[in-house]
Amino acid sequence: MLSKIRTIALSAAATIDEEKLGLTERIVNTMVGLLGGFPAELVVFIISLFPILECRGGMIAASLLGVDYWVAAIISAIGNLLPIPFIFLFIEKIFNLMKKTKHLGKLVNKIEAKAMSKSEKITKYKRFGLLLFVGIPLPGTGAWTGALIAVLLKLNLKDSVISILLGVIMAMGIMSFITYGIPWIVTLF
């Protein structure tokens, strides 16, 4: 049954008009196609691990692949949160090593500048700002960037982790409604 649903979802994904999709949806669509040989739940998990996509992309993929809502929500949340401790623990060390090389140093400076350009609300509102930054699933926001900004601003670790966790839950709620709720509501009419 699952393989039949997956086959239908993959063929539907292949017929989606790429030009009408946003960046996130195009990336998810491509990744679903590339990871077509893997179980749907693993595809959702892998997509949720990636920066930019995070739980937003995981829930889109889960919906495309016909993954049960609760399974999709748990897998997407875990996939989205798994990299966060590593960012808190290692990103400064990694960035410092990368800055020692010419080309990677430029890349790190660009990443830091991009993250810091989004930090105004977080700086002003601290925990609540970080929660909203992570929780509102827009391109360029999310747990990865939120954790990076928290590290760069040297925010309190405990407060940052709690804000990011709550933000991922908030983003999951919004994406759940978009990917599972709206299609269900449409079927009622």
Residue 113 lies in a domain: yes
Residue 137 tokens read as 């699933």
Q: Examine the domain organization and report whether 88 and 165 are in the same domain.
A: yes
Spatial contact of 62 and 76, defined as CB atoms under 8 Å apart = yes
22: pLDDT confidence band, cut at 50, 70 and 90?
Answer: confident
76 and 104 belong to one structural domain: no
133-167 pLDDT, tens digit each: 999 988 788 999 999 999 988 999 999 999 999 99
User: Has residue 188 got a pLDDT over 80?
Assistant: no
Together in a domain, 74 and 126? no
**Cβ(146)–Cβ(121) under 8 Å?**
no
The model's pTM: 0.78
Domain hosting residue 145, numbered range: 84-170
* End-to-end Cα, the chain, rounded Å: 27
What is residue 119's three-state secondary structure? coil
In the predicted model, what is the mean pLDDT of the chain? 85
Is residue 53 a part of any domain in this protein? yes
Whether residue 103 is found in the same domain as residue 76: no
Residue 21 confidence (pLDDT) above 70: no
> Of 80, 108, 135, which one is at a domain's C-terminal end?
80
Question: pLDDT-based confidence at 69, cuts 50/70/90?
Answer: very high
Per-residue pLDDT for 84 more than 70?
Answer: yes
- Considering the domain boundaries, does residue 180 fall inside one? no
Instruction: Identify the band that residue 52 occupies on the pLDDT scale cut at 50, 70 and 90.
Output: confident
Look at residue 185 and tell me if it is in a domain.
no
For residues 40-67, give the mean pLDDT: 92
Q: Counting beta carbons within 10 angstroms of the beta carbon of residue 78, is it exposed (0 to 12), middle (13 to 18) or buried (19 or more)?
A: middle
Domain boundary among 49, 80, 111: 80
> Total structural domains in the chain?
2
- Max distance between CA atoms of the chain, in angstroms, equals 60
Domain final residue, candidates 34, 50, 80: 80
| Res 129: pLDDT | 92
Co-location of 75 and 98 in the same domain: no
Query: 57: which residues sit within 8 A by CB, 6+ positions away?
Result: 24, 27, 28, 31, 47, 48, 50
Residues 61 and 96 in one domain: no
Work out the average pLDDT over 6-10. 43
Tally of helices (H runs) and strands (E runs) in the chain: 11, 0
Position 24 scores a pLDDT of: 76
| Contacts of 47 by beta carbon, 8 Å cutoff, 6+ apart | 28, 31, 32, 35, 53, 57, 58, 61, 79
Cβ–Cβ < 8 Å for 126, 96: no
Mean pLDDT of 109-121: 85
